[in-house]
């Protein structure tokens, strides 16, 4: 859902000599990491620890041959440009970005520092790569975008709440473009396929949450799909509380969102993506150019159901949903 940008490769290739050389023996590599979220336990468990584990498995020892430089926006996207500028000033050997927004900012901020973008949408549509097989710039990574994932989430909600007639999709305009999302939803004809109307609501941060849920109540929304976003992740507890307060079944974009009232999640395995990202970092540290490393597509989808939230909502989850779940939170 990002505008397509045609990216030239000549200037990036000319800028590569100093970055296309394997790390000298005994040198401490510096790996930058930037996220729009806060470094809470779930974030570290989902993104940072798997990356560390993957690096260990490839023979890298933190504190011996590499060191991390972390920057966290704590759910405040306006902080990202400044934090990114801090990392770029440190000239890291590799920059790892978590989520779409940091990756897009990195694309505009540097053409020389190698970037590994994790948990993004389609890299070609985002303008991060010329093609999936040969990105052609200073960026490679892993996409967590799955064709039809939003339709599957709404179908999941319909399976859980078969009497539902109206769904809401809650999004952050810092991450998604409302007009494109609404056009996409209209094209899917959910009213004809699922028998539900779908409305889009915005929230830029916690100050907007109460108003968004008040609108859902006024419009008699039966369930809500919350689109993944660093600000929503940071304030997921408040969003989960509002779902319970308004008795709204909810489906989310990662299992980590379900620790405070979210009902279900259907999304790629972010921990697996982060662990796999270590292999891309390893290749770059050994001299490979990101533009020559194919973007990878996550292949595993995880369905997680929260029975604690179901009980709080007074819902009985259909057996067919429970049987197909990868994880059930008791």
Tell whether the model's pLDDT for residue 309 goes beyond 50: yes
**Model confidence pLDDT, tens digit, residues 2-24:** 433 333 333 333 333 334 445 55
Give the chain's end-to-end CA distance (angstroms, integer).
35
Q: How much is the average pLDDT of 189-197?
A: 93
**Quick one: which of 327, 316, 187 has its CA closest to 179?**
187
**Model confidence pLDDT, tens digit, residues 34-84:** 999 999 999 999 999 999 999 999 999 999 999 999 999 999 999 999 999
Tell whether the model's pLDDT for residue 33 goes beyond 90: yes
H runs (alpha helix) in 190-291: 190-193, 209-218, 230-234, 236-245, 270-285
Q: Quick count: other Cβ atoms within 10 Å of Cβ 276?
A: 18
Phi, psi of 254 (to 5 degrees): 180, 150
pLDDT band at 301 (very low <50, low <70, confident <90, very high): confident
Residue with more model confidence, 19 or 288 = 288
CA atoms of 134 and 245, how far apart (whole Å): 48
Stated as kind and residue range, the H or E segment containing 322 is: helix 319-324
Tell whether the model's pLDDT for residue 140 goes beyond 60: yes
Q: How much is the average pLDDT of 302-309?
A: 96
Q: Quote the tokens at residue 300.
A: 């595993």
**Quick one: which of 302, 294, 254, 258 has its CA closest to 276?**
294
**Model confidence pLDDT, tens digit, residues 158-185:** 999 999 999 999 999 988 889 989 998 9
Tell whether the model's pLDDT for residue 115 goes beyond 70: yes
pLDDT of residue 314: 95
């Amino acid at each position: 859902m990002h505008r397509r940008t045609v990216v030239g490769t000549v200037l990036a290739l000319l800028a590569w000599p100093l970055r296309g050389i394997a790390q000298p023996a005994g040198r401490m590599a510096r790996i930058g990491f930037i996220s729009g979220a806060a470094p809470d336990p779930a974030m570290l468990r989902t993104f940072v620890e798997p990356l560390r584990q993957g690096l260990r498995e490839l023979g890298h020892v933190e504190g011996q041959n590499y060191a991390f430089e972390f920057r966290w926006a704590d759910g405040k996207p306006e902080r990202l440009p400044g934090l990114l500028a801090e990392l770029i000033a440190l000239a890291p050997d590799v920059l790892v970005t978590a989520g779409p927004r940091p990756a897009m900012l990195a694309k505009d901020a540097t053409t020389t520092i190698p970037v590994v973008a994790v948990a993004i949408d389609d890299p070609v549509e985002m303008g991060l790569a010329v093609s999936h097989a040969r990105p052609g710039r200073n960026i490679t990574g892993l996409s967590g975008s799955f064709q039809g994932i939003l339709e599957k989430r709404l179908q999941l909600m319909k399976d859980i709440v078969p009497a539902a007639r109206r769904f809401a999709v809650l999004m952050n305009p810092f991450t998604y473009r409302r007009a494109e999302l609404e056009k996409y939803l209209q094209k899917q004809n959910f009213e004809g396929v699922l028998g539900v109307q779908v409305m889009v609501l915005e929230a830029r941060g916690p100050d907007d949450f109460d108003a968004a849920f008040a609108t859902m109540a006024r419009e008699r929304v039966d369930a809500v799909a919350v689109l993944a976003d660093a600000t929503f992740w940071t304030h997921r507890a408040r969003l989960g509380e509002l779902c319970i307060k308004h008795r709204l079944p909810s489906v989310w974009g990662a299992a980590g969102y379900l620790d405070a009232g979210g009902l279900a999640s259907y999304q790629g395995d972010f921990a697996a993506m982060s662990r796999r990202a270590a292999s891309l970092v390893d290749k770059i540290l050994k001299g490979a150019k990101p533009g020559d490393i194919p973007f990878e597509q996550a292949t595993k989808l995880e369905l997680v159901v929260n029975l604690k939230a179901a009980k709080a909502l007074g819902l009985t989850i259909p057996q067919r949903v429970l049987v197909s779940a990868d994880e059930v939170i008791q």
